[in-house]
Structure 1
Amino acid sequence: MITPNESNGSLNMTLVKASGGVFGPICNAYEILQVHPWVKETNQKDVDVALNVRNELLASNQENELLKSWSGDPCLPNPWHGLGCEPYNGSVIITSLDLSSSELQGSIPPSIAELAKLKTLNLSYNCFNGSIPEFPAFSVLESMDIRHNQLTRQPPESLISLPHLELLYYGCNCYLDKKLQPSFNESRLRTDSGRCDSEGRTHKPVIVIGVACGSFLFTIVVGIVFVCIYRRRLRHRGGFDNKEQHMVENILIYLPSKDDISTKSIAIEKFTLASIEAATEKYKTLIGEGGFGSVFHGMLLEGQEVAVKVRSAESTQGTREFENELNLLSEIRHENLVPLLGYCSENDQQILVYPFMSNGSLQDRLYGDAAKRKTLDWPTRLSIALGAARGLQYLHTFAGRCIIHRDVKSSNILLDHTMCAKVADFGFSKYAPQEGDSGVISLEVRGTAGYLDPEYYTTQQLSVKSDVFSFGVVLLEIVTGREPLNIHRPRNEWSLVEWATPYLRDQKIDEIVDPSIRGGYHAEAMWRVVEAAQSCIETSAAYRPFMANIVRELEDALIIENNASEYMKSIDSLGTSNSNRFSVVMDKRIALPPMSTPSEPLSIMTQQPSPPQPR
């Protein structure tokens, strides 16, 4: 006899000798059957959409641990991390998506809008850029949190018409205009007014003034008085010109007019000369030289390593370039741009302070001093190229106004401890013309020999395509491992562009690839990069692509290369000889079109991306 124990769920089995039996009871086996409730399946449409969301996120977040954990059924037996699921009409549906603080970047996946029963969406504290996808009119979305990202375009006005949407938090998107369309203000939506507040609460605006003893909160009136006093001192000292931007301790306050005063959200610390000398041990360790001056290694009091760039008296880049870099970097932040931590302007010294990039520059790694040189494999080169391209794309599509770098080169692409590429040196950068201006800017030609756009040099008319040409040269450096200009080589090899062009036309790519990476790349990935470089160095700017097109090409190339690497690892794990490692992937060759002429523009690579929405 078997009796269940209700208290602990166990079963008690009692064996009793049969009446009249001679021997004791014997049990050879027993079978217990238990009835389980029917397990519902996840709605197939939601499964498909969730997989699409994952794939779209992976395009820009290949190494993200959260995305790597997303496999199998999104809801059963346990939901993917960040997903919330509920039973609905005999199946299970996705009702919430929380990817906050997940270190995600790139565009917000458009597929998210296809989750028909999604009620809550939280994408806060990431590095998403671009815009919010359009949600269909039948969406049941109730709340959306996109705070602390890098979104550059206004929320779509169609959000107002969503019948259930009540909350929209979008603060701390420093590139997003805090003034939404009037229709948003007139709607029932509750918002955080775009204020940068980590808890989502509403506070009155304050100006944070950094001082030696800590931080104090001042009212706007006190801040204005402080600015006026500071401006008066600047006039007496003969300091910065009376321009649009004035520095108050460790924050920049913009004064575009007497009636319009606003505080930028990116604080730039003002260092004293004594603190700079202490951080660098009186300029003990020189780590680089540039047109602006010398760069020294330093350590701040809190332990952060920094690179301190000190303008030399003989520098060809003067106060204008110093202010230019200071002003630009007080507005922009991006994973692939070197951030400005602070500055010092004291005793005629002009100093800029950046985070220390422990892996030096791309130039150092490709062909710099032997002490700094270290062979970069092809996947790493490809990743660096993509990072730099994304940084330039961000500059060219900056929400406030497109920025042209004007000095793109491998020595201005720095590598942090994770080998993440960051574009640096904005002393020559300029804003592109706004709507209503002519399509180009007439300026004194600036740049570096070997990277200079020939059309810009001859016409002195600057556009974003000048940066594209320079980046094409960088791509050739990455492929060939050669300098852009070297007069110590034979005359026909002085210019990298002139030397490589005949090989590109004749499709002899193997003859120009850096010997240190031969046999170590997927042929199709290499051809995509070469095609991108070839289109960038077109003589006529009209036939060059935009950086958005280049980013897409490099993303595709990196996906191809990574997939090939995984495939080869699987072959290696089966015992395939290393000598045959690349024999499979190197057989494929993709025809490279000849260099285009004005009558034959590149149909794909020159397609202009849609312009950013006005702020």
Structure 2
Amino acid sequence: MGYFGKVQVFSLAVLCSILAAKTVSAQGAPLQEGFISIDCGATSNYVESATGLLWVPDSNHTSAGVNSAEVTGATTFSASMSTLRYFPKPQKSCYLLPGTTPNASYMVRHTYWYGNYDKLNRVPTFYVALDAAKAAEINSSGLSEPYVYEHVYKAKRNSITFCLYRDATNSTPFINSLELRPFQTGAYEQNVLKLGGVLSVLYRFNMGGSRDLRFPDDVYDRIWTRWTLDGVKVETLSPVDPNNLPLMPPSAVMKTASSPAVLGPETYLGLIFTLLSAYPSPDTVLNLYFAEISTNSSATSRAFNISLNANTPVVTENPYIDAGGALKADVKSFIGWGAYTTLGITLTPLPTATDPPLLNGVEILFSKRLSVDATDATDVLAIEQIKDALNLTLSSAGDPCLPVPIAWITCSSASPPRIITIRLSNYNLSRQIPTAFASLSALTLLWLDNNALTGVIPDLSKLTSLKSLHLENNALSGTIPTSLGSLPLTELFLQNNKFVGMVPTSLIRTNLLLDLSGNPGITDGRVYSGPSASPSGPPTPSADNGGSKSKPNTTIIAGIVGGIVGALLLIGCVAAIIWIRRNKIGSKLKSNTSLKSSHAPSHKPIESGLVPGAQRYSYAEITAATNGFKKKIGSGGFGPVHYGRLSNGQEVAIKALDDSSQQGAQEFTNEVELLSRIHHRNLVKLLGYCEEGNHRMLVYEFLPKGTVQEHLYGSPRAAREPLDLKLRLDIALNAAQGLEYLHNGCNPNIIHRDIKSNNILLTDKYVAKVADFGLSKLGVPGVAATHVVTDVKGTIGYLDPEYYVSNALTEKSDVFSFGVVLLEILSARPPIDQSIPNQDNRNICNWVRASLQTGNIDYILDPVILREHPNMNVVWKVAELAMLCVEPKGKHRPSMQDVVRELREAISVNGSSGTYDNFVGNSTYQFRPGGASGSGSSKHSLPNDSNNSMVKPRAR
């Protein structure tokens, strides 16, 4: 008899046939000790009648992901296949399997049936990990039945974490069921498992049986698939006791076998198994199960050699009836036999044999050595204590760093990895700060801001690498620990808490950005906000400056402040009179263009002191302030920008009008007069000007945090802290408010014409201010390669396509440019990315539109945002708002008033746990999966006529 057949893949239809049964009430259900059976996506418990096992929902084992009950074709299979949980967020998502014993062996089984739950007709590829190690790649593409994975794994702690994560393909992980089964001591204790590996089941066959088996036939609930290829099935009615074997094969498997029909001179039993790939010799385990079937057998009647891949016989097997009369079960294990893509098993009878060879069961497993080092043990213990203390266990299960980090953690590349940053901002934390943070000795950044933490700051003196500590906007109390002064902190934000007492003198230093505002219990009478060495910062206290001097100083300061306020009020009245008189003349002029011919040509040059809020500087003063124009910090259509410091110590940015400009002196002074009257907290303030000979310059306040572009994707970004979603929304709102003021709060109204992320600057507190407004008349045509050289002015990538075609500038042109900025804020990608081969995707509008139309918003988000568990409903709303702003036709875009309103609502929802379904007047949504979240329509609903080539949606 020749080979019985060839097996291509571990047949898993067995799971379906075993489990496809009606469920019964959970009351009185038999439970196997240590079994955990999780139906992912289910909403209630149930008991499977075929196995008697209790299945539970996954809500007590994970807090990540989204449930789905729209799994097609599930009725053909088991109840657990009819639901699933999917994980749209890019970070690692984990299940917690509790109750394990360290160093004990367990089976972890997980099952996948895509069922087109997302209506995308594409089976994703992703990965799973057991604790710190990658265990499998999940790819069930092309299979017509559920795909089942079984792993034999040795627990390291009192729980096992099972995690799903994606790679750069951006597939969405999902899972239908997850099971945990304990093994008795000694089971699967092959050397690869003892070394800390994980065994994955490739094949397991019930060679002689007529049915598939699992629990209760198998006390471990392993799945045994019936052998369906050629061969003679033999069986016995006598009991077979497998309890002498740690592997505990089911008695039902051992009572049946495959065998040649008769014994002859060329009789042998041959099987061929196709392995999924070549496995090196130490990485594959073969278990062959034997038990005598005939009660008439003797010690020599059924003796045969076992060889693998036709090699020299490796072992002799001789099943027989023992002295007690019971049938004996035996297992032969082979660990590593060479690197082959196929495995041939040959059983050849010995010359003395009177019965043909037989085989009761086959099990093939391959081992993955866990070569990675788990995260530093001290760090792991500290994180576990932190998670328990802050109730983050389910949302942040798994090894902190491996195979990918927890969303709120960053790790070093050392071996073993160390935890270097923790960002738990806006996590709704409401307990005390765990003392375990002090054990993370490699920590450089700790952000716990915008929560509801209480109690005192614990001793963090062991964090000798800590540079950034954010605890603002909590309910912390007590005094500020003096130990913080011994740390290498460059940022310490403690504002808006309940701290009391004196500020430690060790914290008053020039290299520390310190903010203690909003703590009325600070008793030394000083306000700490911003760098300690800045002019507005706190004075360094002397040894003899006690509390007795606080009150007189306060009185003197109050008098000075009162005098200043009175003077400002007087100046304000004069300014108001001048403005009213001029406005009567200006109201007769056209006000629907940006600084177009709105000033009388006979206006005289401005004299110092005549324009409220603007100071006239000499060229010598400007030269001294810039140290001879030594430090250039930017350039644009207006000309170069230099850093300067005035004689009073104030930092400034000085824009020098390019010598090639055709701007006349009279027109320059007219524009400066208008700009000097524009004041808003979200507009960069004009402090003064210089008009001397051929030199014409504008003096602006200096904003130390630079441009939004630099923080998103500019070359200096690596040296800056990344912006979280809350901060990005605040920045977007700040800029929108400044732009809305230009449109509606100025007379004449001002159209910016060049809104871009490089023209939005940040204060030291990350307040955004719009720059370069009103400078379109002062710019030099064509001085920068990014600027359009025709009468149309603006920057490529931000330019309104309707304005570009018609030359008709409107406020909606600024709205388009602002929409591009919103897309930059979400994606951290430039508006035109020349590095992308596909020209259609170089334009950020095309790229985002194509991604959103497929429902794939994760693909366009900056990974910095994704790592913080963002409110995806808010993210969708902001993305949709941005796409409304960049509609090809201006009539379809919202006004800046609408944009401001919607951003304010987005920020409100982002800071709460509520939902956010009303958007831009309940408009319809084009992109969101599952249709519109609102109802009805409005003047801002998305149109279907996206015909302009600059923003036309195309497939990626």
Relative to the length of structure 2, the TM-score reads 0.32
Which of the pair is proportionally richer in helix?
Answer: 1
